[in-house]
Amino acid sequence: MSQSVRLPLPFHDAAPKALANGQLRRNLGHVTSAIRAKRAAVTSEMPDWEALRAAGKTIKDHTLRNLGTYLEQLEANVTAAGGTVHWARDASEANTIVRQLVGATGAREVVKVKSMTTDEIHLNDALAEDGIVAIETDLAELIVQLASEPPSHILVPAIHKNRVEIRSLFLSAFNLEPDELRDDPAELAAAARRFLRERFLDAKVAISGANFAVADTGTLCVVESEGNGRMCTALPDTLITVMGIEKVIPTWHDLEVFLQLLPRSSTAERMNPYTSFWTGVRDGDGPSTFHLVLLDAGRSAILAEDVGRATLRCIRCSACLNVCPVYERVGGHAYGSVYPGPIGAILTPQLRGANQDRELPYASTLCGACYDVCPVAIDIPSILVDMRRRTVNAQRKASPLPATSAVDAALRTASAIFATRGRYEAAQRLARMGQAPFVQGGVLKRLPGPLSGWSDARDLRPIPRQSFRDWWRRRGHNDREEP
């Protein structure tokens, strides 16, 4: 089974390629619009939805302000329940810890619960260096693993694949003849189930992430739809959980809020079909060895940011992806990270450091739809604007000369024009005269030079002969008077 994925292109190269893929856009449009509608239906039936959002935000903010205290409490309670806690400063440390733990068991194969955090640190590749095969057991994760691709959606990693493509992957991965498998969803799921059942029964080690960790009991929680995660957390002898430090919550009581917010925002269900909890180890029940790896990998640095800190409230529901007009058109791979869409645009650059992925915060229209749906009320547009501000300031510091790029020059010109009404109206008159050669059949076609970006893929209406202000003045009104 292939373990590694292809290296991503930068967003400005990847996005046009994705836009040119009609099949991808159809798949994305179909799935995101279906989930959007279902989510809107199940959240609108909750009269206290906004109160729940506020509670989720408050609990997360409180936890982040006292993160050290709750992490130490979690460590003490996991240890008291028979588990072992490891601290990893970065991806490399986390991978080394997991490699040593798996190596000590002698296992050559591990089964995995769907986990963005282990994707973030490229754990499968690290295990492959030791000859250890990691089998993804979430159906969609298995599909992207067989295709040697990264996930393209937090919740639906294979959103970009249709059933014909999945059948072809399964035929070759499971050594099936063409007449043994049709592209029927039930048959495809059954083929994956047969393959995975053998892996579950043979596995000595399982690796998971965690949706939540409860500090006051030392309990880990994973929610999922297929039950494959439950097989991983219950059957093998050894369970290793890799968790970002921001996933801790103070009390069991707090789960009540998040277990209402998460399923309705992610799969648009009233509750998750499978919610698994485990607290340390217990004789004769589940794994006999449990390790918890607490991962920092840039999270402490985000915690120190005034505006960006709110990013750590994220519960990875993916609601923001499904409403984002940019994500819906380019899909997840264009973001070059396991975290795509609006959350990826703010999380990835912060996790990777100030000089990385500077263009991702620009992959947004700032329409605000992501903020409206976020179950923990992360004001993503404000964080995007703050990150853009920091990028511009860093560029100015590096090169204090004015107009350092064509975009910079264009924005300075626009700023000067919009600064006074006289300039704005003069610019309008000039544009009205200058557009004449480009008007065909009542629309603007093929604008020259850099303006062609506006006309290549859409028909623009020409600037009308009479502006609203002209029309208002002609009716004898003072144009400073309110219409």
Site for ligand SF4, rule CB under 6 A: 265, 314-320, 343, 373-376, 378
- List 460's β-bridge partners, or say none: 444
Rounded CA gap, 358 and 277, in Å?
38
Between β-strands 238-244 and 133-136, what pairing exists: parallel, antiparallel or unpaired? unpaired
* Helices 406-419, 421-434: crossing angle, 10 deg rounding: 120
CB nearer to ligand SF4: pick between 111 and 213: 213
Q: How far is the CB of 16 from ligand SF4 (least distance, A)?
A: 25
Q: How far is the CB of 251 from ligand SF4 (least distance, A)?
A: 20
Q: How far is the CB of 241 from ligand SF4 (least distance, A)?
A: 20
Q: How far is the CB of 318 from ligand SF4 (least distance, A)?
A: 5
If we measure between CA atoms, which residue out of 330, 326, 387 comes closest to residue 357?
387
CB nearer to ligand SF4: pick between 77 and 350: 350
What one-character DSSP code corresponds to residue 286? S
Q: How far is the CB of 250 from ligand SF4 (least distance, A)?
A: 18
CB nearer to ligand SF4: pick between 91 and 345: 345
- Note the residue count of the chain: 483
- CA of 292: how far to CAs of 38, 85, 355, 466, in Å? 35, 5, 31, 68
- CA of 278: how far to CAs of 218, 273, 384, in Å? 9, 17, 37
CB nearer to ligand SF4: pick between 217 and 318: 318
CB nearer to ligand SF4: pick between 114 and 316: 316
CB nearer to ligand SF4: pick between 142 and 310: 310
Q: How far is the CB of 345 from ligand SF4 (least distance, A)?
A: 10
HSE of 361, CA atoms in CB hemisphere, 13 A: 22
CB nearer to ligand SF4: pick between 218 and 341: 341
Amino acid in the structure at residue 72: E
In terms of Cβ atoms closer than 10 Å to its own Cβ (0-12, 13-18, 19+), residue 478 is: exposed
Nearby residues of 422 by Cβ (< 8 Å), 6 or more positions away: none
H or E segment and range at residue 222: strand 219-224
CB nearer to ligand SF4: pick between 126 and 373: 373
CB nearer to ligand SF4: pick between 173 and 317: 317
Q: How far is the CB of 346 from ligand SF4 (least distance, A)?
A: 8
Q: How far is the CB of 145 from ligand SF4 (least distance, A)?
A: 22
CA 256 to chain centre: 24
DSSP assignment string, 363-389: S-----HHHHH-TT---HHHHHHHHHH
- List 290's β-bridge partners, or say none: 239
Q: How far is the CB of 341 from ligand SF4 (least distance, A)?
A: 7
Rounded CA gap, 122 and 339, in Å?
13
CB nearer to ligand SF4: pick between 98 and 380: 380
Nearby residues of 372 by Cβ (< 8 Å), 6 or more positions away: 323
Q: How far is the CB of 374 from ligand SF4 (least distance, A)?
A: 3
Long-range contacts of 190-197 (CB under 8 A, 24+ apart): 192/139, 192/142, 196/111, 196/135, 196/137, 196/142, 196/228, 196/231
